[in-house]
Every structure is written in C-alpha cells, then in structure tokens.
Chains A and B, each alone.
Chain A
Amino acid sequence: GAVVSQHPSWVICKSGTSVKIECRSLDFQATTMFWYRQFPKQSLMLMATSNEGSKATYEQGVEKDKFLINHASLTLSTLTVTSAHPEDSSFYICSATEVLHSEAFFGQGTRLTVV
C-alpha cells in the first residue's frame, strides 16, 4: 500500500518558537494532502487541505497565519506552527491522496509539546 511518512514523530519546543512538520508520500505523487489535529481521546479535526502548487484551504476557525502550510512538490507538504504556545500542544497528522477521491493514507503523526 501507499506509504506516507511524517517527521518528526515527536517534538518538544519552547513557547514562542516555530516548529515545522513534514509529510512525505514515499511511493506515490500526492496531489492533495490534508492536515489534522487530534486531541486526546477525540476524533481527527481537519485543519486544512493542501494542493500541490497552490495555497492551502483552511477550515473555519483555523488561523492560517498560525499554521503555515506549504505543498511545494507532489511528495512533500509541510506544516509550520508559528510562535507556538502550550495550547498548540497536540497530535498532528497528515494524510495524502494520489488523485482526488482516491483513498487517503495517513502518516504516523507528530506529537507536539510546547513548554
């Protein structure tokens, strides 16, 4: 099956710093990538949809200046949490699809802890 790799698996950063999370499709070209946030014991909350070469589409309530998404190539999308604060601590997960409406495969997630 298709493999999506997310890096890093976990990161601890100081409040006020920025953190970049990478999402790579290893064996297919991902035209669309999705970024989710998940709180403990809760479902996945879609943050934004990222299409290669264009600006990301953010869900309502998600600050685009806070969560910068770049999808510069067909195999890589990045999420940068800018000026991170403790309330940004969460599990961030990406998924990628090869063509629209095909199945999305998830990365292993990134546990962000802001101290």
Chain B
Amino acid sequence: GQQLNQSPQSMFIQEGEDVSMNCTSSSIFNTWLWYKQDPGEGPVLLIALYKAGELTSNGRLTAQFGITRKDSFLNISASIPSDVGIYFCAGRYNTNAGKSTFGDGTTLTVKP
C-alpha cells in the first residue's frame, strides 16, 4: 500500500524560530493535507493542497504540494508556544474512496 515518510519525527525549537517539516510518498497523490493534533483531541485541518506546485498559506503556516506529487512540506514561521502539538501530513488519491494515508507525525515542542 501507499506509505508516507514524515520527517523529522520530533523538533525542539525556541519560540520565534521557523519550523519546516516534510512528507514524501512512494506513490503520487491528488491531494495533500496537513493536520495538527493537540493531546487528547482529534486532528484539525490546517491546510489542504489540490494541485502539483501549489503553495498555500494559512497565517504563519505555509505548505506546498510538490511538483512530482509525491511530496509536500509545511513551514511554520515565528513559532509561538501554542504551536506545540503533533503535525500530520496526509495524502489522498481520489479513486481511493476518499481515504487518506497519514504520515507518522512530527512532534513539535516550542520552548518559551
């Protein structure tokens, strides 16, 4: 089946620093999604990407859909303590009954 490699697995940064994480896939996707999960909660959608090369921002977050359709990255600028959480990428191929494949997550810790 489709596999997603998400890196890094964890990050420890100072408040104010920028963050970058990425996902690569063994196969192509039509949609890339980025979610944030707080402890004990369900994931919340941050950014959805629908087209190869697409670059989309949501506040301090920016994500891109790789040209090859096999990768995506998420950047967070000027991190703040509430950015702490687990970030998941997810890829979806439209003929797969709407199912998404999730990466293993990047745990972000922001030190004040």
Which residues of chain A are within 8 angstroms of B40 by Cβ–Cβ distance? 91, 109, 111
Q: Which of B48, B99, B105 has a CB less than 8 Å from the CB of A43?
A: B105
The size of the chain A interface, using a CB distance under 8 A, is 26
Whether B94 and A101, one on each chain, are in contact in the complex, defined by CB atoms closer than 8 angstroms, is yes
Interface residue count for B (Cβ, 8 Å)?
Answer: 22
Is B66 at the interface (CB under 8 A from chain A)? no
Whether, in the assembled complex, A46 has its beta carbon less than 8 Å from a beta carbon of chain B, the answer is yes
Give the residue among A6, A43, A107 with the most B Cβ atoms within 10 A. Answer: A43
- Whole-angstrom distance between the alpha carbons of A34 and B48 in the complex? 18
**Chain B residues whose C-beta falls within 8 Å of the C-beta of A93 in the assembled complex:** 42-43
Docked complex Cα distance between A42 and B104 (Å): 6
Contact call B98/A32, Cβ cutoff below 8 A: yes
0 or 1 for each of A28-45: is its CB under 8 Å from B? (1 = yes)? 000010100000011110
- The answer for the CA separation of A57 and B44 in the assembled complex, in Å, is 24
Asked if A43 and B88 make an inter-chain contact with CB atoms under 8 angstroms apart, the answer reads yes
User: Which A residues are within 8 Å of any B CB, using their own CB?
Assistant: 1, 4, 6, 32, 34, 41-44, 46, 49, 57, 91, 93, 95, 97, 100-101, 103-109, 111
- Nearest 7 pairs of A and B residues by beta carbon: A106-B42, A109-B42, A43-B104, A43-B102, A100-B98, A44-B102, A93-B42
